[in-house]
Amino acid sequence: MTDEKTMQQEFPLKLIHMDEVEATDTKWLWYPYIPYGKITIIQGDPGEGKTTLVLHLAAALTRGKMLGSEEHQESVTVIYQTAEDGLTDTIKPRLIAANADCSRVLVIDETEQCVSMTDGRLEAAIQQTNARLVILDPIQAYLGAAVDMHRANEVRPIMAHLGNIAEKYGCAIVLIGHMNKSSGQKASYRGLGSIDFAAAARSVLIVARDKENPQVRVMIHAKSSLAPEGKPVAFELDKGNGFRYIGEYDGDPNELLSGSGGKKKGKLAEQLLMHELREGAKSQKEILARAEECDISKRTMVAAKKALGVQSEKKSDGWYWSLPDGNNARMQECKDKEILHPCNVEQEGEINGTEDSEERAAAVSAAEPCEQPACNT
C-alpha cells in the first residue's frame, strides 16, 4: 500500500486532451518495412542471412542509397552493436565488401561494460551522432544480465523505454533476433522470448531461405502496424558472388516460410508458358499481360522461360516467344501434367498431387472453371 502511495506522489495524474494533439504522418527509413521513430524486429533461423541483409542495407544508407535503387537520398549515420561477430575480422570486412562509408558507421565501445537497451550511453550516442538507424544484434544480448527474456513483465518496460528513445529522436531501431522451432505459432510470434518483443515492434520482418533455391533468401513482412504489409523481397547469397539484392519475390508469405511458395509460382509460370505457346509463337507483351492477370511477376516468367528453353525473336512489332523444337526434360514434365488453369494454385496442387489415372480424370472433370481471363481461352 505504501508503494502505491509513493507512486501516486511521484507520478501525479496528467491527462492528455486528444483535441490538443497534433496529428503527424509516419516517416520511413524503408517503406513499408522500417519506420522512423519506431522499433522493427528482423528475425530468422541462424545462418539465413539476417545480419548480412541488415549490414548491406546500412551500407547503402551510409552512401545515400537504398537497396535496389540508384536514386540518391540523404546519407544516414548508423550505430551498430553486435555481440556475435568480431568488429575487425567480420563486421569491418563485410562493410567494406558492401561498399559502406565506414565513417558513418559507429559502435559504442563495450570493452569495459556491455551496452544494454536501458543503458544511458545508447541514448547519449544517438543524441551526439544524430544517428538515424540503430541496430542491436542479437536482441537477447542487449536486454541486460538480470532480465529474463521470457517474462513479459520484465520485457515490456524495457521495450517501452527503447520505443520512447526511438520516438524522441526520430531514429529507426532495428533488433535482430533468432526464431524458435515451434511450427504451430504465427510467424511473427516465433521469435525467442516473450511475445512482448513482437507486440512492441511496429514492424516484424522474417528472413527465410527459399527451399527450392537455397542461395535465395526471402524477407517476409510478418507484421505491419503502420502501413499495408510489404511484398516479400529477396536477395541472393553465395560464396562466389556474395550478396545480390533481387527485389520483389513471388509467393505467399506462409508458403515461402514452409518452403513451397516459390516452387508453386515457378511451376505455374512454366505451365502458363506451355499453355500460351502451344499453338505457336506469341508476343512477349501479350504473354506478360496474361501472367499479370494470374498474379505472376515478369521476373518469374523470365525464369520459367529460361528453364523451358523458350526462344525469343525480334519482329517489326516487338519480341515474340516460342517453344523450342523437340522436348527437353522440363517441357516433358509440364506435358505430363494436365495444364488446366495455370492461375489456380490450389486446384493445380490437388490435380497434380493425384497419382491414379482414374482419380486424375475425376479431378479434371470436377475442376471448377478458373475466374482468371488468362485461363478462359
DSSP for 34-47 reads EETTSEEEEEESTT
**Segments in the chain forming alpha helices (H):** 2-10, 50-62, 92-97, 120-129, 152-169, 196-200, 253-258, 261-276, 284-293, 298-308, 329-335, 345-352, 357-366
Domains of the chain, by residue range, sit at: 25-258, 263-375
pLDDT for the residue numbered 21? 93
Closest C-alpha to 76, from 34, 121, 41, 114: 34
pLDDT of residue 274: 85
Q: Do residues 174 and 42 lie in contact, with contact meaning Cβ atoms separated by under 8 Å?
A: yes
Q: Quote the CA–CA distance of 333 and 321 in Å, as a whole number.
A: 20
- Angstrom distance (rounded) from CA 374 to CA 138: 47
- Say which CATH architecture domain 263-375 belongs to: Orthogonal Bundle (1.10)
pLDDT of residue 95: 95
Angle at 33 between CA 226 and CA 231, to 5 degrees: 105
Segment (H or E) for 135: strand 133-137
Helix (H, G, I), strand (E, B) or coil at 370: coil
Sheet holding 311-315, edge to edge: 282-283, 318-322, 311-315
For residues 204 and 222, what is the distance between their CA atoms, to the nearest angstrom? 5
In this structure, what C-alpha cell is assigned to residue 310? 523458350
What's the CA gap between 179 and 42, in Å, rounded? Answer: 10
The rounded distance, in Å, linking the Cα atoms of 211 and 216 is: 8
CATH 3.40.50.800 describes domain 25-258: no
Q: Which residues, 6 or more positions from 216, have their beta carbon under 8 angstroms from its beta carbon? A: 209, 210, 234, 235, 236, 246, 249, 262
CA-nearest of 222, 194, 200, 213 to 44 is: 222
pLDDT of residue 339: 45
Topology alike, domains 25-258 and 263-375: no
**pTM for the full predicted model:** 0.69
How much is the pLDDT for 275?
A: 84
Rounded mean pLDDT for each run of 10 residues along the chain, 377 residues in total: 50 92 95 97 91 96 93 95 92 94 97 94 97 95 86 90 97 90 52 74 92 86 94 88 89 63 69 85 89 79 84 89 71 51 46 44 44 43
Give the model's pLDDT for residue 227. 96
Spatial separation of the C-alpha atoms in residues 133 and 170, rounded to whole Å: 9
Q: Which residues contact 96 (CB under 8 A, 6 or more apart)?
A: 102
Residue 150, phi then psi, degrees to nearest 5: -95, -5
Number of residues that make up the chain: 377
